[in-house]
Structure 1
């Protein structure tokens, strides 16, 4: 810093105090070094610092100082839509004219674009998804690139597919950096990057090799002195939930309770919420307006906690957040560090407790396999795009390639980033750019993910009293911070700081157990019927009995009614039970057996609570090639207990084979379309019911197309209303 003029440091310090609103504010170690490298040396800088260090201050102040020296506006790429409003307000306090373009403010885009054209904006924040938008990419981005005085990439670990939160849209930033030219300073910031991610990000920032300065990496200590970490392993969901009911009020202030699934978050909120102490659910199913309201309620301490999935992650900023609890462990210590880092930013102490679950590893595996594109899927998508004579929408592509919507959208982003596909007006096209599936890289990433899962299990197994271990030190070293030393505060260093289960008086324990039982013992999940046919069935040869392609709405007279499942496969308390019944052997073959008595009795409870308009008169089973005993015994048992006519099972077409797992709606429906046969004997039995409702029984409901096609066949054969019923709803 000897070569830096005092004038810049004084000017930057004055701006810092305006930004923070504190006259005594000073720079943290490394902050001004980053600012000087950007403003005076126009370098490319990667800042890896713990949450709360002040990374946003670096980029806002650098942008302001650049503008004062005649540079163009700064472009900040940030996934933190939830935080953009707060960031814009903070920047304006420092005299920075800041605006944001995101999905949250489309009505303001025209005004912001006019202000950009008039050079009235110092900082523009955009989400990485904006870079994919054809109109923004064609109309706004070229002008921004031409005038850009500073590029900032916030949460830069998202660039790297080695990182815990890789986002394909971020890969486009490599091309954006290359377009800017080496004279434009670039800043990348993150709190969660190990050495491999740092190397990957630095490589992408330093795409100009011709005489450009090497990327300056400023890395600080990642330990957090305010966090008191602990891990408490309890036998099952019932005891974990009882513990939370007993101990929630003892946790300091307000906080976040993370879960691994949406249904767990919703069930947890229902369990813990009270009129005098609110707990609300925050998940990917929560709409944008309600999310903003819930975030503000937590900031204002109007709720004790949000029961949240990872949807409440990067970007939420409550400096005095008092606690973070995890009901189930994330699959990576780095992801765990990122989430617990929400707590204790401006407090001396915040409590962080992990309550791992038996089902964690199964959930990790599900998400891991869902996020990796396969070579076959990529090739099928490129072939479909190349053979089309027009751009294809995502639904149109689904009729050409058997890939589920979420996986297809991810794959299209990967192909677009690699230049093999492009999103244009009307849909997607193949660019003709040669593309090779990097199988080795994906295998290496998958191996890294497995290593992270193993490290998370090691974190759980750390033992109190081991002088060589510490929870905070373990997390920091997973991020390759070798400066970390034992914190002296966690349960490994200082012994358990949290109460044990049952620490309350007997009456309190009984009340907690009763509330938990009310949630865990609840059965009966509504299953909405399919009401519309998927698009593109003509391409798959699906024709009805009149030779027409099914389109639009299903006729009401041929639809299934609303059905029921005993429970979801992700429900607290039920996930392990249902997975045991639906388990497979070592080679992945389904294990078949009769329905256990305990589940049979609970199914009877589902039937007793079903508020149907007319009691069903009969039961028919979906024919199963994988679990015939399970489905058959379930249907027969219901018929016996309910004194219903047992119609046996639907017939199965001779060509029927075990159904493939996965796939999208169009291909699933095509596989099922001619699968079921109503035999003459069954049709005669249906006629004898005189239009009375019947139960259609299966082991699981996943896509709902099996029940849709089977119910249609029964209705066409003269059946009355068809009510689907299954043990499990896959969700």
Structure 2
């Protein structure tokens, strides 16, 4: 432990490093120094829960540099997002810190970085939590880091908690890394968004903040630059029209968050038509394009990025002028995390929430893909071989889980010691594993409570900043009201909810243009033979590219389609028939359909059959009626592709003979695309020249 005599000199050196990092005008605050001194001089563990903009990254970069000057090894920073890593490496270089990152976007550099680690040439190594269990990294690089690390930093530490808003199972692997550190190695966990429950869980998972020997720095969450507003405008088209009309009024450049990829892409296209420099930034945006878009936002070359949560934690633009939410996140904690991007180094930033009637449906969908039931998890465990590794792709046909949920289950089981990731896939360990039913039940209850709180935020008359601070258990709040004086409830309405009628009409017309592509499946799922289905390789007898009127998440058609599908079965309304005709007129098919066939629907038979009949009559097509499901067929509720294909194989009673020419195949909803694929396969095998799928709605 460092002598107290050296503390003044240490603080002076820390101040000099901060000047290099943030500019000559930056002054090291007492609370930042408290954290740095605990890490460097006292080799303690620390948990820092401080608002966005407090300077958490300055603390760990300065501490890393000071530790290196004392002869300690490199600092390992576990960081969750590529955007965050890129920002942090740039920040480190400004302070003379030699930093490198290992992530999915720089695969070609991994070998050289591994060599730098082994040679002790790095001050800081940033890694994603997923990298900690990559077999090569875990077995070859991690032992060096655990033995030689000067400090370990867990950034965005709320991710370690399954009470947090962005739970990532791989974060829980960090506990193993910490357990292998040399005694006395300082550890820092940081986050801006953690209520009492999440803080407690971080302490349990990482062993930081759990005892008196650990420094806990937890500050107030008020952000004086943020001016919070809620505009309850209703339908997606009116909210989009409001943005088209008012976006120029918002200061500088910013981020407009949407809840779905399709909403981001639709809104970006609309705003571009209104002359705005904007771009969509979603999970579909590849890594190289994301980096370009981040640079354009940082350089104020765009007015806004229209983003999903893919642009989230750690994106650092100090002068970000506004954050708008086109739809409410499901948690006030997640909302505060995202709005915290704005106004870090500005005196004022506008934060607007435009909630929508579809928000709760989207929340329900994301909740439905949470951790599965025990029976499903047991099936995953029983499918694993303790000796022979199996890839996720190979496991899919053996369990009823989609790819992303299967990956999540395997990661949780890996952290719990029941499975192990090795070269070639996953193996079972044979260790006893118990399903924590009580914990998952509490998670469901907490999720519902947070959704209720988010709904309340949109309608509350109390100070909105105080509302968010109380949701995050701000330690500086007492029982008495603490109004911010800046939000719309405190300072009055600043933005009119009115939209010019011509803009509203034009936007509604633009978003109401029906027609989205339904891409055909190209490849059969692997391992179908294990399920007794003789299909493999490329799909040669499938459907042509299809169409749908709209997506259930669309800003324009989404609300109408959800309302139609939620009501009792009825004949196709006139607007649906007209929209279908519009889509068919614009369809650039190779050969015009000669007949129309309705898929038998379990939920909307009248809707589907009446639409097929209308289209046959208007388009002068032969009406083939309904393609019935075989009487002995069991319904399909499977969630992954292999099981869906197996469940739909030979499911239909195909007519003995089919007319010449392409068939227009009608269904109410398409989600995975496998129903259209399997029905088309059956029809093609029976002699159909081509099958053109058409759905009233697509799920995404």
TM-score by length of 1: 0.92
Match of 1:139 in 2: 140
Gaps spanning 5+ residues in structure 2: where?
A: none
Q: Give a deviation string over 1:679-712, Cα, whole Å, max 9, x none.
A: 33xx1xx2xx3x3112111111112111112112
Alignment match, 2:483: 486
**Is residue 203–residue 209 contact of structure 2 (8 Å, CA) maintained in 1?**
no
1:523 partnered with 2:514: yes
> Which one of 655, 665, 678 corresponds to residue 654 of structure 2?
678
Q: What is the CA distance between 1:722 and its match in structure 2?
A: 1.1
Matched, 1:643 2:620: yes
Which residue in the other structure is 1:85 paired with?
A: 86
Question: Can you give the 5+ residue segments of structure 1 that lack an aligned partner in the other structure?
Answer: 464-468, 503-508, 543-548, 585-590
The Cα shift of 1:88 comes to 2.0
1:700 partnered with 2:669: yes
Pairwise CA distance, 1:2: 12
| 1:5-52 deviation per Cα after TM superposition (whole angstroms, max 9, x unaligned) | 312212211222122231x42122410000111111111100011111
Q: Deviation per CA, 1:537-575: give whole Å up to 9, x if none.
A: 111111xxxxxx2211122xx221111111111111222
- Residues 421-445 of structure 1, C-alpha deviation per residue, up to 9 Å, x if partnerless? 1111111111111111111101111
Contact 1:44–1:205 (CA<8 Å) still a contact in 2? Answer: no
Aligned pairs for 1:180-191 (under 5 A) are 180-191=181-192
**Post-superposition CA distance 1:114-150 (Å, at most 9, x none):** 2222221111111111102110000000111011111
C-alpha distance 457-566 of structure 1, shift in aligned 2 (>3 A): same
Contact 1:701 1:730 survives alignment (8 Å): yes
Separation (CA, whole Å) in 2 of partners of 1:439 and 1:40: 43
Over residues 468-511 of structure 1, what are the superposed CA-to-partner deviations in whole Å (9 max), with x where a residue is unaligned?
A: x2111111111101424211010010111112313xxxxxx355
Q: Hey, what does 1:449 align to over in structure 2?
A: 447
Q: Which residue of 2 aligns with 1:12?
A: 14
| SS of equivalent to 2:180 | helix
For residues 29-68 of structure 1, what are the structure 2 equivalents within 5 Å? 29-68=30-69
Question: Equivalents in 1 of 2:36, 2:364: separation in Å?
Answer: 42
- Structure 2 CA distance, aligned partners of 1:182 and 1:499? 59
1:189-247: CA deviation from partner (whole Å, max 9, x where unpaired): 110011111111122332799xx853211011111000000001013122211111110
1:200-215 matched pairs, under 5 angstroms: 200-206=201-207, 214-215=213-214
| 1:470 corresponds to 2:471 | no
What is the distance in 1 between the residues matched to 2:362 and 2:13?
51
Distance in structure 2 (CA, Å) of the matches to 1:114 and 1:711: 53
8 Å CA contact 1:528–1:562 kept in 2: the answer is yes
Distance 1:304 1:515 in 2: 22
**Whole-Å separation in 1 of the counterparts to 2:275 and 2:614:** 45
Contact 2:383 2:398 in 1 (8 A): yes
Q: What displacement does 1:646 show?
A: 0.8
For the pair 1:404 / 2:402, whether they are aligned, the reply is yes
Cα distance, 1:653 vs structure 2: 1.6
Say whether 1:724 aligns with 2:700: no
- The equivalent residue for 1:295 is 294
SS at match of 1:42: coil
Runs (4+) of structure 1 exceeding 4 A deviation are 1-4
Q: Which residue of 2 aligns with 1:458?
A: 456
RMSD: 1.8
Separation (CA, whole Å) in 2 of partners of 1:99 and 1:531: 39
CA contact (8 A) 2:514 2:557 kept: no
Give the Cα–Cα distance (whole angstroms) in 1 for the partners of residues 216 and 445 of structure 2.
Answer: 27
SS of residue in 2 equivalent to 1:526:
strand
The Cα shift of 1:597 comes to 2.1
SS at 1:61's partner residue?
helix
Q: Secondary structure of the residue that 1:724 maps to in structure 2?
A: strand
Aligned to 1:499: 496
Does structure 2 conserve the Cα–Cα contact (< 8 Å) formed by 1:43 and 1:213?
Answer: no
Residues 208, 214 of structure 2: 8 Å contact kept? no
The match for 2:236 is 237
How much does 1:651 deviate? 3.4
Which stretch of structure 1 is more off in the superposition, 402-411 or 601-610?
601-610
Any conservation in 2 of the 1:328–1:360 contact (CA below 8 Å)? yes
Q: 1:300-339, aligned counterparts within 5 Å?
A: 300-339=299-338
Partner Cα separation in structure 2 for residue 718 and residue 274 of structure 1: 45
Contact 1:177 1:207 in 2 (8 A): no
**Residue in 1 that maps onto 2:537:** 552
Aligned length: 694
Write the mapping of 1:549-588 to structure 2, written as runs, cut at 5 A.
549-555=534-540, 558-583=541-566
- 1:462–1:471 contact (8 Å) kept in structure 2: yes
Q: Structure 1 303/275 Cα, relative in aligned 2: closer, same or farther at 3 Å?
A: farther
Which residue does 1:587 correspond to in 2?
none
Residues in 2 aligned to 1:479 and 1:679: alpha-carbon distance in whole angstroms: 61
User: What's the offset of the Cα at 1:343?
Assistant: 0.5
Local SS of the residue matching 2:563:
helix
